[in-house]
Amino acid sequence: MKNHVFGERLIELRTKNKLSQRDLADDTSIPQSSIAHWERRRQEPDLDKLITIADFFDVTTDYLLGRTDTY
Please give the backbone phi and psi of residue 68, each rounded to the nearest 5 degrees, phi first.
-150, 160
* Structural domains for the chain: 4-64 (1.10.260.40)
pTM of the entire predicted model: 0.92
> What tens digit of pLDDT does each residue of 21-68 get?
999 999 999 999 999 999 999 999 999 999 999 999 999 999 999 999
Half-sphere exposure of 69 (CA within 13 A, CB side): 0
Looking at residue 4, its pLDDT comes to 81
Confidence of residue 1 (pLDDT cuts 50, 70, 90): very low
Looking at residue 2, its pLDDT comes to 56
